[in-house]
Structure formats: C-alpha cells, structure tokens
A = this chain, B = another copy of it.
Amino acid sequence: MENELRRDYFTERRVIISTGRGRRPTDYKLPLASAEDTSPGCLFCPGNEAATPPEIMRVEEAGKWAIRVFPNKFPAATKEPWSESESLIPSYGSHEVVVESPDHAGTLAEMSADRLARVLDVYSKRADAMLSDMRVGYALVFKNHGRVAGASLAHTHTQIISTPIVPQVVAEEVEGARKYRARKGSCPLCDAQETESRGPRAVFNDGKAAAFAPYASRSPFEAWVMPVRHVRALNELSVDELLSLAEAMRVILKGLKYRLNDPPYNMFMHMSPRGEDMHLHFEILPRISILAGFEFGSGIVINTLAPEKAAEFYGQK
C-alpha cells in the first residue's frame, strides 16, 4: 500500500505512512548535529558554574560534579502568586535544566547503562520534587538535541517544566488509556510493548524494558522506550529495571548517533499524572522531516519511512 492511514494504539492521533518516494533508511543521513557547535565559552562546562543560576542538585563522581541541575535562565514557568478566580492564569511552575555530563562533547549515547541510569534517577527526583507542590499538575521531562530540535546550547542537557494543568497531549493519553482499559480490560502500553516485541517493529526487550518503533510513527526512526512492568513513574522501578530501561534507551540513541549521523531529536518522558494510572514511557522523535501546513491543519503527520524499516535499522548489529 503506497499510502496507509494508521492510528495510534490508544489515542486519536493518526499518521499517513507514505512510502511512495521509496527512500531507504540510509537516505535519511543528515549532516552531523554535533558538528554545529564550536562554542569555547560554554555556560554548561566545568569552570563556568557561577554563570548559571544557583544549583539545585548535583551528582558527584571522584569529587567532581557529574550531573548538575539549576533553574533555566529564561523560564517558561514561574511561581507567580495567583488565585483561581482571576481571569489571567500564569504559567505557574518551575523550569529546570539538567546538565547530564561535564563533558562538552558527550551525549547520553556514549554513557554506560549504569551512568545513564543515574541520569534517569535525577530526572525522576526533580520531577517528583516539582510535583510535591500541589498547585503543579504535571512535570514534563524533555530533551532537545541539536539546533533544529530546539537546543540553543550544544552541551548535553535536559529540561523539566512543570505546569498548573495536565497538558493536552498527556491528558489525551490518559483518556485514551482509560477507554482502552474499559474496552479490553488491559493497559494499552502493556499490550503494545508485548505485541511489538514479537513483531516487525521490535528493537529491544530483555523482559524488563522494551524499545520499539511505534505502529503510528510520526517521524522516520521514532522510537518508544518503556519498562515492561506497568509502572506510573521512574521511582517505582527496581535498580535492575532502571538499568534495563537505560540499556533500551542506549540502543536507540546509539543507533541515531553512530549510524544515522547524529540527527536532531526530541525525547520526552510521559509519567502518569497524579492520581492517574498510565504506563510510564519515553518517546524519541528524530527531527528529520519538516512539519508543514498539512500537519498543522490536520494533526495528521505524513511519515515517509515505515516503522518496520526503522526497527530493522535499529536492530542491525
């Protein structure tokens, strides 16, 4: 089928898998994202700690910092006083930056599973800390890698923004999962990772964590990474499960970096909102194609590489 309309596992999101132009995975190799950067005075490098806002958290290794967390200098969320009776609603919350490595050229892709697990643990702790404020409705952990994906600084970092509401994309997933459960009696992501691990879109599954190219992929090489066990947040995982999750993530990130010339990508974590029961997962969206008028006007993304081809690519040794 030249043009196939696919629907996401449990939301209304649809994509057109349009393979008529016959591009192969290697046709998507782009110029190196990492080559964009030559900044000598990087604010995130060791030695420039005083140039960032005051540190919130750090993880040390051999007496030096390995991971640092501090507020974003230009926050998109602020703790402004407000009452619900007012007509103007502030973007109430906080906006933090997690610098995952002191190494200017390092990325998550080169980290050992053990090291990456510690990074995931920092994401978890900071998101949980934000959610301890009951006026915060959600905390979104996200990474912009490469300028095209929105990274204004090249040194590896992830951001966390908390919002007074549950954002629409997350609310749609929660609602979709609720409907799916009512219909089938099971969690859509428990089902998806189990089914996908046995099919043509499988990339990784060690019984504790899974990575696969989702059926309705929005982008060439889109990948989802999640624990096999139904957990709502990272803080429910055992050390073993966290290590497996890190390993599953590494398979994807290494594939992108070393066999696709390090394209720009966005990654975000969808944990369960407070009081809800959604399966924790990470979505990795390479920013290889351009979203245009059709995508904005319809919400349907045209993807020129079938996820089955993407999984094949990731699965190659």
Give me the interface of A with B, judged by CB distance under 8 Å: 1-6, 12-14, 16, 18, 20-21, 74-78, 80, 88-92, 138, 140, 142-144, 148-151, 159, 161, 163-165, 167-172, 266-270, 283, 285, 290-294, 296-300, 302
Contact = CB atoms under 8 A, between A and B. Distances in A.
Contact of A14 (B167, B283, B300): B167
A21 B3 CA distance: 43
Contacts of A171: 12
Contact of A300 (B78, B148, B168): B168
A90 B1 contact: yes
Contact of A144 (B74, B150, B167, B292): B292
A76 B1 CA distance: 11
Contacts of A4: 88-91
Q: Could you say which of A16, A76, A151, A267 has the most chain B C-beta atoms within 10 Å of its C-beta?
A: A76
Contact of A3 (B12, B75, B151, B293): B75
Given A142-B292, A159-B293, 8 more contacts: A3-B91, A5-B163, A5-B164, A12-B168, A76-B302, A151-B292, A169-B296, A283-B297
Q: Could you say which of A90, A168, A171, A296 has the most chain B C-beta atoms within 10 Å of its C-beta?
A: A296
Contact of A292 (B90, B150, B168, B270): B150
Contacts of A163: 5, 298, 300
Contact of A18 (B76, B159, B167): B76
Contacts of A76: 3, 16, 18, 294, 302
B91 A165 contact: no
A297 to B, nearest CB: 3
A126 to B, nearest CB: 15
Contacts of A88: 1, 4
A-B pairs with lowest CB-CB distance, top 4: A150-B292, A142-B293, A268-B297, A167-B298
Contacts of A3: 75-78, 80, 90-91
Nearest to A138: B298
Contacts of A291: 150, 291
B140 A298 contact: yes
30 contacts: A3-B78, A3-B90, A4-B91, A5-B90, A5-B91, A12-B168, A14-B167, A16-B77, A16-B91, A20-B75, A21-B74, A140-B294, A140-B298, A142-B296, A142-B297, A144-B292, A144-B293, A150-B290, A159-B294, A161-B298, A167-B298, A167-B300, A168-B300, A169-B297, A172-B299, A266-B292, A266-B293, A267-B293, A268-B294, A270-B297
A90 B143 CA distance: 34
Contact of A296 (B159, B285, B300): B285
B20 A74 contact: yes
